A and B are shown apart, each in its own frame.
Chain A
Amino acid sequence: MSDVSRTVVVGSRVGLHSRPAKLVAQEAAKLPVVVKISKDNGTAVDARSLLSMLALGAKKGDQVTLTADGDGADGAVDALATLIEQDLDEADV
């Protein structure tokens, strides 16, 4: 059991919504553990939930914190952190 937490800066030009949020939620759904995401010490929401992520309203340059517990938490947080830091609106995924 290990608690993992990492804070990253949103890299997408449009912020963490539309296409970027969709890509993050899709990736989160594939991970073995639930990763939670929060902004400004607010409530941590399930990164698999596109609606919850949209409601965070994270803009480009905002800091968001990713947390996860259990086996594979490290890798899961890393995977989402890498994604969030990129400019996903540009990425041709």
Chain B
Amino acid sequence: MSEELSGVAAAPGVVAGPVRRVVEPVTDLGPPTRVEDAKAEAETARAALADVQMLFEKRATGANSQEVADILSAQAMMAGDPVLWDNISGAIDEGLPAPHAVARAFASFKTALEQVGGYVGDRAGDLDAISARVVAVLLGAPVADLPVSSEPYVLVARDLAPADTAQLNPAVVLALVTREGGPTSHTAIIARSFGIPAVVACSRAEEISDGESVVVDGDRGIVVRSPDDAHLAEVERRAEWLTRARRESHGPGRTSDSHGVPLLANVGNAAEAEAAAKDSEGIGLFRTEFLFLDRSEEPSINEQVEAYVSVFNALGERKVVLRTLDAGADKPLKWLDLGGEMNPALGVRGLRTARVRPDVLEHQLIAVARAAKATAAKVWVMAPMVSTAAEAAEFVGLAHDQGLTRAGVMVEVPALALCAGDVARVVDFFSIGTNDLSQYVSASDRTIGALSDLLDHWQPAVVRLIREVAKGARVGGIPVGVCGESASDPLFALVLVGLGISTLSMAPAGLPLVRASLRAHSFEDCKRMAKLALTASDAVEARASVAESVHIPIG
């Protein structure tokens, strides 16, 4: 009998395959028993540390990027750290068993690094992973790790950390399923960048056992256990369409009746911009945080100009929408001390940081203007986290003063969306950030997987706010794009176009499917689907009613 486990759709596509589970680490060592032969115990501890050190060194050599190689070789050094070893051997001399001594030594360094904070503090969590691995070797327990398999598999885990996903081989991983996480979690982002389906927040994922066959439906957010022939036939039919759609989908975005909807990419640096430039009509969201995070002072104007020029140049004469610095208590900057906040998502972040440091925004706008002048790209600039028409007008004024003629705002705060008609009079364009808009309108933290049903972009409140913004934009005669992850949902993209959204920007992996979906439907179809989504009583009904009326097998 087949059985459906529900979760949240995090990356599109459907696939069938055998499950490989991530083995969870041993966390409970139990009370220590006194060790008699401390010398022998120390020898085993030393050997286990050496094993782990060697393994990390080997992985560093085979890593797929320099960044990952650096992290892994630092972790190898930590396993072989002489002062860590002094702590461990000292504890063993006092009679502590090796696993306890190892766990204690790593834990004390973890506390020390957390106290330093910043980048060092962020790395403190890595020590848990090294410690768990050494302990597993000592106990002869299965090592908490990604499965090793050359056969394609569906990866099932409690959650996936960046350090785990760095090891994933896109050639053999068919799909990701996690118990934790939400549609904007790291797992979802990685799955989309690999172009594989993902289902997150699947509360019953624990029940799936290693080796069993499942179907992962990343469009509907379900995992099917013991799928029957009908399921497998459906998978095949959709997989065929998806493969063809991905392969055959190139060129500009438009509906079947040639209503143009430029398809743009979200990028965070020059390398991503170059990759995205291959098959997109421009950049709809250029995040500039990479220049500002992890450093002790503000980047100079010259350094900023250089970085922006390299992104603009990648796009030739196409459009690039640059978002000014989006930092805050959740993405802290060492040189911009905002103090602690009880609710970072509601605190001094985005454009609000300019209240504390107006000079930083001014420098950034100067740099953007210089870079724009030096390149052929059509540069638009926008501010994140804007709440009122007055804030919007002030930002637009600053940008215009620098000679940046197209200045707009991100629409993420419901207050701004509700007054879109007034705001549209003072800005050159809108870009709706649906991830934050969903989190703010539903008062649900987007980092909490358990709330992901409330964060769904199919929620009637989100759809209605998007309609308000589109209406305001129409009245003001300005364009309105969407640059949240919702734009990469091939069904929701149709709804957005029907609501009057003029451009869609997303992670590049999402472009082919959205392009294929648009081309299979007319502008009238899109308007009809927008109406269905607007009149549905809840998110599930909204999605289901749109899915029933599409001409493609992605419902």
Contact = CB atoms under 8 A, between A and B. Distances in A.
Contact of B77 (A14, A22, A56, A61): A22
Contact of A22 (B73, B83, B84): B73
A54 B113 contact: yes
Q: Max chain B CB contacts within 10 Å: which of A19, A51, A60?
A: A51
Contact of A18 (B82, B119, B334): B119
Interface of A: 13-15, 17-19, 22, 25-26, 45-46, 48-52, 54-57, 59-61
A15 B109 contact: no
Contact of B78 (A14, A19, A51, A59): A51
A55 B74 contact: no
Interface residues of B, number: 24
Contacts of A46: 82-83
A49 B82 contact: yes
A44 to B, nearest CB: 12
Given A14-B296, A46-B82, A19 B109 contact: no
A17 B119 contact: yes
A48 B115 CA distance: 21
Contacts, number: 64
B296 A60 contact: yes
Nearest to A13: B295
Interface in B36-88: 70, 73-74, 77-78, 81-84
Nearest to B77: A50
A52 B82 CA distance: 10
Nearest to A29: B82
A15 B116 CA distance: 12
Contacts of B334: 59
Given A13-B296, A22-B74, A54 B83 contact: no
B162 to A, nearest CB: 15
A54 B84 contact: no
Contacts of A51: 78, 81, 83-84, 109, 112-113
B294 A14 contact: yes
Contacts of A19: 70
Contacts of A55: 109, 112-113, 115-116, 120
Interface in B116-166: 116-120, 123
Closest 8 CB pairs between A and B? A57-B116, A49-B83, A55-B112, A50-B77, A51-B81, A60-B296, A51-B109, A52-B83
Main secondary structure of the interface of B (DSSP, over half): helix
Given A22-B70, A55-B113, 15 more contacts: A17-B119, A22-B74, A46-B82, A48-B82, A50-B81, A51-B83, A51-B112, A52-B81, A52-B83, A54-B113, A54-B120, A54-B123, A57-B117, A57-B120, A60-B296
Nearest to A17: B120
Contacts of A52: 81, 83
B305 to A, nearest CB: 18
A28 B57 CA distance: 19
Interface of B: 70, 73-74, 77-78, 81-84, 109, 112-113, 115-120, 123, 294-297, 334
A51 B73 CA distance: 13
Given A15-B296, A22-B73, A55-B109, A50 B120 contact: no
Contacts of B113: 51, 54-55
Nearest to A58: B116
A54 B438 CA distance: 39
A46 B81 CA distance: 10
Nearest to A54: B120
Q: Max chain A CB contacts within 10 Å: which of B82, B112, B123, B334?
A: B82
Contacts of A45: 83
Contacts of A26: 77
B70 A49 contact: no
Contacts of B123: 17-18, 54
Contacts of A15: 119, 296
Nearest to B121: A57
Contacts of A14: 119, 294-296
A13 to B, nearest CB: 6
A14 to B, nearest CB: 6
Contacts of B295: 13-14
A59 B73 CA distance: 22
A50 B74 contact: yes
Contacts of A61: 296
A91 B77 CA distance: 20
Contacts of B117: 57
A49 B120 contact: no
A22 B77 CA distance: 8
A46 B295 CA distance: 25
A49 B296 contact: no
A37 to B, nearest CB: 12
Contacts of B119: 14-15, 17-18
Nearest to B84: A51
A2 B373 CA distance: 60
Contact of A54 (B73, B116, B294, B297): B116
B358 to A, nearest CB: 24
Nearest to B294: A14
B130 to A, nearest CB: 10
Nearest to A52: B83
A46 B85 CA distance: 12
Q: Max chain B CB contacts within 10 Å: which of A13, A45, A55, A61?
A: A55
A29 B83 CA distance: 12
Contacts of B83: 45-46, 49, 51-52
B81 A18 contact: no
A19 B73 CA distance: 10
A17 B119 CA distance: 8
Nearest to A25: B77
A13 B297 CA distance: 8
A87 to B, nearest CB: 12
A25 B294 CA distance: 21
